[in-house]
Amino acid sequence: MTVQTTPRRSRRRSRAVAAGLLVIGAVAGGLLTAAPANAAVSNCPAGSACFWKDAGYKTGGSAAKNVRFTLLIADFRYWNYGPSKVTGLLNGNANDSASSVYNNGKQDTTHWYQGSYSSGYMFKLKPGNGDDNLSNATGAVPTSRSNDNLSSGFFSSCDPAYRCS
């Protein structure tokens, strides 16, 4: 003997299925929708680590003026923010001035140092991580002492003696 579903039970089941599909759709939509990327971070090319003079991934109001490296910079004193990077003998403006940093590397962690040639270890950042304000100690870098106090950096594929694989 077979029991047939009454129209009322069928409507309840249809509503439950529809509600379930709405919930699944909302969850999937939330998972698939990425948070908007910071426009300034997009000025840090894939495979690079970048730093900016000011908070908010900017230098003088421009996201494009940053210093970037793909392996290492042993001494920030030789570097300027902006399109012209290498300046000559200790004539750069990037030393002890970074207020925001980002690791847009593919797989390597970046290591950041207070002194040139990897002295005075400060912090490290995994790929896809950054801190848009080093002065407030609330971002990825848990101390404000790094603000305006960085002098060298490298990816973990290089060792502190600057041998890169």
Domain extent, residue 5, equals 1-33
Mean pLDDT of 14-19: 47
State the pTM of this model: 0.72
The model's confidence at residue 143, banded by pLDDT at 50, 70 and 90, is: confident
Under a CB-based contact definition with an 8 Å cutoff, are residues 148 and 54 in contact?
A: no
Q: Is residue 91 part of a domain?
A: yes
Q: Is residue 101 part of a domain?
A: yes
DSSP helix, strand, coil percent of the chain (3-state; round to 5): 20, 25, 55
Of the listed ranges 6-10, 110-114, 138-142, the one predicted with least confidence? 6-10
Number of domains making up the chain: 2
Q: Are residues 77 and 16 in the same domain?
A: no
**Cα 152 from Cα 113, distance rounded (Å):** 5
Mean residue pLDDT across the chain:
78
